[in-house]
Copies of this chain bind each other. A is one copy, B any other.
Amino acid sequence: MPPADHDTPREIEALIDLMARLPGLGPRSARRAVLVLLKKRGALMAPLAQAMAQVALNARDCVICGNIGTADRCAICTDDRRATGEICVVEDVADLWAMERAGAFKGRYHVLGGTLSALDGIGPDELRIPALAARISAEGVTEVILALNATVDGQTTAHYIADSLSSAGVTLTSLAQGVPIGGELDYLDDGTIGAALRARKRF
């Protein structure tokens, strides 16, 4: 719990409450983070506040792909060097960043903004699925890579998209499943080992 007594200034309490809403920080670690900020007011707190205000002001969703950038069209969608014929469909901006860190894909992205979920009332129109279909004809896309998470919701969504694009005349692919680099069989789940065995390759 944040300090509730009247002797902690209200502004500091409010800051702790807001910090505690970040993922990875609970009320206790938020207080610890704020104490560090208070000790480094000039070196860390002021620059962090300014950086945050600036991003809050400038960040916007790319109107084409749903990536987050600082303009109406993100840096990937406006990069002429990136192939326009391939679209990689991801659930979330976090997944787009992960793909970019891997550096293996040189086409464009399409961020759905979640997965289909009957339980949460999220249907195709809540995601950016209609916009995907529109892009395929508008941009002359030949391949759609379904890079959704290997979860039940992710795969349900991938199947839905594959069905809805079946007559769009594009090649649909998905990421390979198998043993991760550095993975040890003893620590892998049965599903992954089964998938890796079924997709085995000649050595």
Question: A35 touching B100 by the CB < 8 A rule?
Answer: no
Q: Please name the 6 residue pairs, one residue from A and one from B, whose CB atoms are nearest each other, closest first.
A: A49-B52, A49-B53, A24-B29, A45-B56, A9-B70, A46-B56
Q: How many copies does the complex hold?
A: 2
A58 and B15 CA atoms in complex are apart in Å by 13
Interface centre among A4, A45, A103 (most CB of B within 10 A): A45
A36 within 8 A of B: yes
Question: A8 touching B52 by the CB < 8 A rule?
Answer: no
A18 within 8 A of B: yes
A160 within 8 A of B: no
A44 and B8 CA atoms in complex are apart in Å by 22
Residues on B with C-beta less than 8 A from A34 are 55
Of the residues B7, B25, B52, contact of A24 by C-beta under 8 Å: B25
A129 and B52 CA atoms in complex are apart in Å by 38
Apart from A5-B103, A24-B29, A38-B68, list 6 A-B contacts with CB within 8 A.
Answer: A11-B51, A18-B44, A24-B32, A24-B33, A35-B97, A53-B53
Question: B15 touching A79 by the CB < 8 A rule?
Answer: no
Of the residues B15, B46, B69, contact of A51 by C-beta under 8 Å: B15
A144 within 8 A of B: no
| CB-nearest residue of chain B to A51 | B15
| Chain A residues within 8 Å of B, Cβ to Cβ | 1, 3-9, 11-12, 14-15, 18-19, 21-25, 29, 31-38, 41-42, 44-59, 68-70, 74-76, 79, 92-94, 97, 100-101, 103
Give the shortest distance, in Å, between A203 (CB) and chain B (any CB): 33
Question: A48 touching B52 by the CB < 8 A rule?
Answer: yes
Give the shortest distance, in Å, between A66 (CB) and chain B (any CB): 11
A49 and B24 CA atoms in complex are apart in Å by 18
A21 and B23 CA atoms in complex are apart in Å by 15
